[in-house]
Structure 1
Amino acid sequence: MPQRFPPVALIGAPTDIGAGHRGASMGPEALRVAGLAQALRERGIDVVDRGNLSGPLNPWLPPVDGYRHLTEVTAWNRAVMTAVRAELGAGHLPVLLGGDHSLALGSITAVAGHCRERGRKLVVLWFDAHADFNTSTITPSGNVHGMPVACLCGYGPRELTELGGSSPAITPDRIRQIGIRSVDAGEKRLVRDAGLDIYDMRYIDEIGMRRTMEEALEGIDEDTHLHVSFDVDFLDPEIAPGVGTTIPGGPNYREAQLAMEMIADRRCLGSLDIVELNPAFDVRNRTAVLTVDLVESLFGKSTLMRD
C-alpha cells in the first residue's frame, strides 16, 4: 500500500540571503505557479499553503569575519524553525519552499528537535551538487548557503549551530548526501574528518542510481523520520537550468525520478525542503515544472500500481 500522508503544509521562505546570486527569493512563487499544491491534491493529499514567511531584506554586503549576512541569515532561519516546528507539532508534513539552502538550518533544526522529543530516529537525505560543509575559515565566498551541513553538525557560529538551543543539531551519521560533484579545496579535508556519508557522482556513475539509493536508504524503517533536503542544483543543468550555481554532470531525469520513487517506496517521508530554485536563470519555469514532477514521485506517483 502507498504511504498515507498527513496534511501537507507549504511554507514559503522567499529569500536569497545566504546565496551568491540574487533570484532564489522568487523560488516559492515559481513552485506555486508550476502547480505544486494542485499536484499533491490530485494524489489525495490535503494541502494547506501557509503563504510566505517574512524576514530581513538582502543587504548584499561583503563578508564580515567570514560570513555574509549572518544576522539576517539567523533571523530567516529562526522564522523557518518556528514555522516548521509548529507544523510538525500539529501532525502535518512541512514542505519548505526556498529560498536558498541556508534555510535548511532552520528546517532541519526543527525536525531534529521534534524527533528528539518523540524518541524517533532521524535520517536526512541531502540531494545537492555541493557538500555545503564550509566554515568561515575555509569558505571562498562567505555565502552561508555553502555552510548549512557544517553548521548542523556543530561547525560554525553559535548563532547557527545553537539555533535550536543545543549543538550540534544532528551528528554526521544522520545525514547522507547524494549527487555531490563540487567540494571546495578546504572543505574536502573537513568532510573527510567529520566522516560525512557522501554518494558523489563518480560513485553513482560507477554503481548506478539504484544501488546508490539502496545504500543511502539502508536502515530506514517505519520508526524513521525521513527528511529530504532537495537542492535543485542536484539535477544536471541540461534539464534544470533554473539555479544560481550550475554544476555540469548531475543526474538525468530518469535517475532523479528513480531516486524519488525509491524514497517513496520506504513510506517514511516526514518533511521536505525544496531550495535554490532560481527563476531568474530558468526558461519559462521549466525547472519548477520538473521539480514539481519529481515531488509528485516523492509522494508516491508511479507509472504502474506497485505493492
Structure 2
Amino acid sequence: MTKVSLIGAPTDIGAGARGASMGPEAMRVAQIGPTLEAHGIEVFDRGNLQGPPNPWLPPVDGFRHLHEVAAWNNAVHEAVHAELKLGHLPILLGGDHCLGIGSISAVARHCRETGKKLRILWLDAHADFNTAVLTPSGNIHGMPVACLCGHGPQELIEIGGKVPAISPKWIRQIGIRSVDAGEKKFVHEMGLEVFDMRYIDEMGMRHAMELALATLDENTHLHVSFDVDFLDPQIAPGVGTVIPGGPTYREAQLCMEMIADTGRLASLDVMELNPALDVRNQTAVLAVDLIESLFGKSTLMRK
C-alpha cells in the first residue's frame, strides 16, 4: 500500500505577493487527504512546519528575506528527507516555490543515499532560473532551480550537503511561458530541457510528456514540482503570478495521467496556491483533482 505524507509549509517568504502561506489549509479544505484515501492510499498528515514570519522587507544584496528563506528551506529539507527514509511519498503543500530548494535537495540526498537516479518534472509558467544579478525583485521564488543547480547564495545552495544539489540534466520543465531575457540566456547556457507552451502548442502535450518521461527505469526516483501557475489562469486564478496561455484542463489531466502511467512518482511539491487571490477555493479543488490523476484516477476505463 502506498503511504503518502502531507507536509504543510505555510509561508510566502520567497514570493512577491502575500497569501501563498494559506495554501496548505486550502488544500486540506479541498479534501486532499480523503481524496487520496479513496484510492486505497494510506495518508499521514504531518501538519504544518514552523518557520520565521514574513517581514515583508526590500531586498538586501539582491535577495529578499534570505535568512528566513534559508530557515524555511532547511525545515522542509529535514521533513521531506525524514519521510523518504520511512519509505513514504512526501507531498509538500506550499507555500511559495522557493521551498523547492529544500524539497528537491532532500530528494537528491535520498537518491545519493539509495543509489537511485533522479528525474525532476518542473511544471510551471516560469523557469525559476533567476539569480540576484538577473532579477531586480530579489524574490527567491524565481530562483529555486538556479539554486539547486549551484547558482545562488551559500545559505541556499549548500542545503542538503552537496553543491550543486542536482544536475540541470535531470530536469524537464513543462508549460513555461514567462522567462526574463537574462534568465533565458542562462537557461540555454546551462542546457535545461524546456517544453515551453509553444512546443506544447505545436507538438501537443502527449509528445512533450513522452520526451519528458523518456528513459525512466525502475531505478529512477521521479519528483514532480507542480507550481499551480502552470495551469491557465482561466481555470486556476488562485496564484500570485498570473500568466495567460497555460495548459487547459484536459492538457493538464493528460500530463498528470501520463506521469501516473509510469508508476514512478516518488515525491511531489504543490506550490504557489494563493487562496487570497482564488475564487471560492476553485484552484485548490482543481489542484486536488489533478493530484488524484497523478495517483491513478483515469478518465478512461483502462484495463
SS of alignment partner, residue 51 of structure 2: coil
Q: Secondary structure at the match of 2:7?
A: strand
Q: Structure 1 residue runs of 4+, over 2 Å off? A: 303-307
Partner of 1:93: 89
Equivalent residue for 1:193?
189
Q: Residue 128 of structure 2 aligns to a residue in which SS?
A: coil
Name 1:26's counterpart in structure 2: 22
The alignment-based identity, stated in percent, is 73
TM-score for the superposition, normalised by structure 2: 0.99
Counterpart residue type for residue 177 of structure 1? Q
Find 1:141's aligned residue among 122, 137, 140.
137
In the alignment, is residue 152 of structure 1 matched against residue 126 of structure 2? Answer: no
C-alpha displacement of 1:187:
0.4
Name the residue aligned to 1:111: 107
What's 1:50 paired with? Answer: 46
SS of corresponding position for 2:200: helix
Task: Tell me if structure 2 keeps the 8 A contact 1:127–1:179.
Answer: yes
Match of 1:216 in 2: 212
| Deviations 1:144-203, CA, capped at 9 Å, x for gaps | 000000000000011111111120000000010000000011101111100011000000
Deviation at 1:302, TM superposition (A): 0.7
State the Cα distance separating 1:220 from its structure 2 match: 1.0
Deviations 1:84-132 (A, max 9, x none): 0000001100000000000010000000000011110100000000000
Compute the RMSD of aligned alpha carbons.
0.7
Contact 1:88 1:114 in 2 (8 A): yes
Count of matched residue positions in the alignment of Structure 1 and Structure 2: 303
* Alpha-carbon contact 1:135-1:155 (below 8 Å) kept: yes
Q: Secondary structure at 1:271's aligned position in 2? A: strand
Alpha-carbon distance in 1 for matches of 2:195, 2:290: 20
Q: Secondary structure at the match of 1:264?
A: helix
2:48 alignment partner AA: N
CA distance in 1, matches of 2:49, 2:140: 19
SS at match of 1:173: helix
State the AA in 1 paired with 2:213: L
Residue 181 of structure 1 aligns with which residue? 177
Which letter maps to 1:24?
Answer: A
> Amino acid of the residue matched to residue 176 of structure 2?
I
Q: Contact between 1:222 and 1:267, CA under 8 Å: does it hold in 2?
A: no
Partner of 1:112, secondary structure, is helix
Structure 2 partner of 1:228: 224
**Partner in structure 1 of residue 265 of structure 2:** 269
Is the CA contact 1:13–1:28 (under 8 Å) kept in the aligned structure 2? yes
Q: TM-score, normalised by structure 1?
A: 0.98
The equivalent of 1:73 in structure 2 is 69
| Distance (Å, rounded) in 2 between the aligned partners of 1:100 and 1:218 | 29
Alignment partner, residue 294 of structure 1? 290
For residues 256 and 20 of structure 2, what CA distance do their matches in structure 1 show?
Answer: 23
Unpaired segments ≥5 residues, structure 2: none
Q: 2:6 aligns with which of 7, 10, 16?
A: 10
Give the deviation of 1:69 after TM superposition: 0.2
CA distance in structure 2 between the aligned counterparts of 1:119 and 1:18, rounded to whole angstroms: 32
Q: Distance in 1 between matches of 2:300 and 2:254?
A: 14
Shift of 1:306: 2.3
Amino acid at match of 1:250: G
